[in-house]
Copies of this chain bind each other. A is one copy, B any other.
Amino acid sequence: MSIANTYSNKAWHLVSRPSREQPAGPHNFRLVESSVAEPAEGQVLIRHLFLSLDPYMRGRMNDGKNYAAPQNLDETMVGGTVGEVVASRHPKFREGDRVVGMGGWQLYALSDGAGLRKLPADDSIPIEAYIGPAGMPGITAWVGTTQIIKPKAKETYVVSAATGAVGTVAGQLAKMAGARVVGIAGGPDKCRYAVDTLGLDACVDHRTADFEQQFAAATPDGIDGLFENVGGDPFKFSLRRINFHSRIALCGLVASGYDGTPTVVEDMRMVLTARCLIQGFIVTDFLPLWPQAIAELSGHLASGRIKWRTSIADGIEAAPEAFFAMLKGGNFGKQLVRLG
């Protein structure tokens, strides 16, 4: 029986771009069904088990200058995936191999092996960790923390979106380095989890009316390192508290305006006087360090030194709604879509 008869694919295509008149939403996507093609010579067919939903995808929806080329219209939306090889005509992959790659928002993907990585056969960490704390989001946290901020013992390290996919790992890595870690998160449940489970020293809820006062009280010695995922007011208030020789890893501005308000710096003199370092970064600029990062993060996960949690949406149909909910902070932990 042919693969085409066995498997039916469903894929989310980006079919329109957000505009000022019509902000981004699920209406920009369309679910397209198709039969699955047989792998050609040199190709491998993967059945996806989990799709990762990440804030960078919002940027890809736009046309114009960004990290990477925009997502093409009428093609499957980009996304990190873990899955199993169901058929292979590629010398490096065999049926049953577990793999991680950029398979996109769909149930099946054909790949020529580029960007596809075979995962260890052991079960020391769950497969979805390879698109979470041992994958792109975790490596992002590792790069920003170990390569840019380099927190030292007793320094104050602040991480926004502290219970998100990146922030969860960033805060725990900074704790391992001996820093005093203060999280920023949305709501009391996330803040409690950040302190009680992730082990942060404090966590401030940015949704409270007196957030700036609470945040100042939680950072009495100022801020030496800032892992910025969010932008907006938390960033503004953080800048007001930076110490001499502080370092800011500028990773994301999810609270800020693709459609809305930009994240501003009110006065660069603060940055000058503090001799502050601000480094915008993207994890793919650090590809040579990925093997080291993955090895360290996998070890921390297997030993339980890094804890994490997931928000799971079930079924490919749920992807767009889950994605936009995540951008508003509706997730609690790494946002995944379960496909398997």
Contact = CB atoms under 8 A, between A and B. Distances in A.
Nearest to A68: B273
Interface residues of A, number: 34
A277 B285 CA distance: 13
Nearest to A250: B272
A7 interface: no
A235 interface: yes
Contacts of A330: none
A28 interface: no
B266 A253 contact: no
A231 B269 CA distance: 9
A247 to B, nearest CB: 10
A272 B253 contact: yes
Contacts of A272: 250-253, 280
Contacts of A273: 59, 65-67, 280
Contacts of A263: 267-269
17 contacts: A59-B273, A231-B268, A231-B269, A235-B268, A245-B285, A250-B272, A262-B269, A264-B265, A264-B266, A265-B268, A272-B280, A273-B280, A275-B281, A275-B285, A276-B279, A277-B277, A277-B280
Interface of A: 59, 65-67, 231, 235, 245, 250-253, 256-257, 262-269, 271-282, 285
